[in-house]
Chain A
Amino acid sequence: GENVEQHPSTLSVQEGDSAVIKCTYSDSASNYFPWYKQELGKRPQLIIDIRSNVGEKKDQRIAVTLNKTAKHFSLHITETQPEDSAVYFCAAKNYGGSQGNLIFGKGTKLSVKP
């Protein structure tokens, strides 16, 4: 089955700096890769996603890149702000497969220092 590795487990940056979180997946058939943000004590919420027919996707200060050959994808946050502090989870899914369930990474705790 699918396995998703996420690095780093913790990340501390200064306000205004960029933050990058990386994930690798094992199942080459996976074709959908979402990122969820979870603030302390809150529920996970989708912030951006990418499908395997796209190499990069941007939404304001966040972007996700996908390298299918290497089986890894990354979340990039530019001009970080204190409100970006949260735990970020990557996930992978075989959209059309018999399983079709999201497999999550273990999370990255991002701290943005003012």
Chain B
Amino acid sequence: NAGVTQTPKFQVLKTGQSMTLQCAQDMNHNSMYWYRQDPGMGLRLIYYSASEGTTDKGEVPNGYNVSRLNKREFSLRLESAAPSQTSVYFCASSEARGTDTQYFGPGTRLTVL
């Protein structure tokens, strides 16, 4: 099992460009999450999907959109990137939203110039 995978590992964008971060899990988990990690700020939830077909906003959703493509895949889209979106993005999954352990992907380091 690969667990949670993310692509790309690194990305540099110019202000105003768009891109989609991809996430997939092979653990048959129902719930998936997108976090951003900034120095000194911990992990902050952007969006989550409690189950296939549903998505909801987290703590910092502005400037992002998500798609739960199927049970395995959950993508994060930046429509018009801004320097404030420079961060490390982690995808995570758990068996269900009400269960405990979240398994994280390796992260995507995004720089917006």
Main secondary structure of the interface of A (DSSP, over half): loop
Q: A44-B43, A104-B44 are in contact. Are A49 and B100 (CB under 8 A)?
A: yes
Please encode chain B, from 98 to 112, with 1 for each CB lying within 8 Å of some chain A CB and 0 for all others. 101110111100000
Assuming A43-B90, A102-B43, A103-B59, what are 17 further A-B pairs, CB within 8 angstroms? A6-B42, A34-B101, A44-B43, A44-B90, A46-B101, A46-B102, A49-B100, A49-B101, A89-B42, A89-B43, A95-B98, A96-B98, A102-B45, A104-B44, A106-B40, A106-B41, A107-B42
Residues of chain B touching chain A, judged by Cβ–Cβ distance below 8 Å, are: 33, 40-45, 48, 58-59, 90, 97-98, 100-102, 104-107
Q: Which residue of A lies closest to B101 (CB)?
A: A46
Q: Which residue in A43, A106, A107 is a CB contact (below 8 Å) of B107? A: A43
Among residues of A, the one whose C-beta sits closest to the C-beta of B58 is: A101
B interface footprint on A25-48 (CB within 8 Å = 1, 0 otherwise): 000000010100000001111100
Question: Residue of B at shortest CB range from A44?
Answer: B104
A sample of 23 inter-chain contacts (CB < 8 A) reads A6-B42, A9-B40, A32-B100, A34-B100, A43-B107, A44-B43, A44-B90, A49-B100, A49-B101, A89-B43, A95-B98, A95-B100, A100-B97, A101-B45, A102-B43, A102-B45, A103-B59, A104-B42, A104-B44, A106-B41, A106-B42, A107-B40, A107-B42
